[in-house]
Amino acid sequence: MKLALATAALALALSSPAMAQEHFRLQSAADLSRACAPAAGDKDAATSLAFCHGVLAGAYGYFQSSVPAADRFVCPPTPAVTRTQVADGFVAWLKARPQYNGDGAIDALFRYAAEAYPCKR
């Protein structure tokens, strides 16, 4: 009996990450938008929002570390915006521009960010 329970627990533990990985795979801007604005009652809403915020922070962190300051086309405003504000802005922006739904998630994110937070030169 203990062996059967241990085997069942192990099988469940090994299958859960695969399901989560499939659920949060970004293949398009529309996928990122869905992660940033989960449907009401979505049992994974908190995880979805945390994933969205992680993508936003990771993409911007990579941008800052890989693009010289003089070449940046996205500059954070003062006062700073929150990740939630950026996520909500991106979702609204994409909803108004459905032609970008099939674009890469990060490409569309930076297209939005360049419009919303351009550098003043």
Burial 67-83 (b: 16+ CB within 10 A, else e): eeeeeeebeeeeeeeeb
- pLDDT, tens digit, 9 for 90 and up, residues 57-110: 999 999 999 999 999 999 999 999 999 999 999 999 999 999 999 999 999 999
Q: Using CA atoms in the order 79, 107, 25, 93, what is the torsion angle rounded to 10 degrees?
A: 60
Tell if the pTM clears 0.85, that is, is over it.
no
- pLDDT, tens digit, 9 for 90 and up, residues 1-16: 444 433 333 343 433 4
Q: Using CA atoms in the order 39, 50, 109, 118, what is the torsion angle rounded to 10 degrees?
A: 120
pLDDT category of residue 120 using cuts at 50, 70 and 90: confident
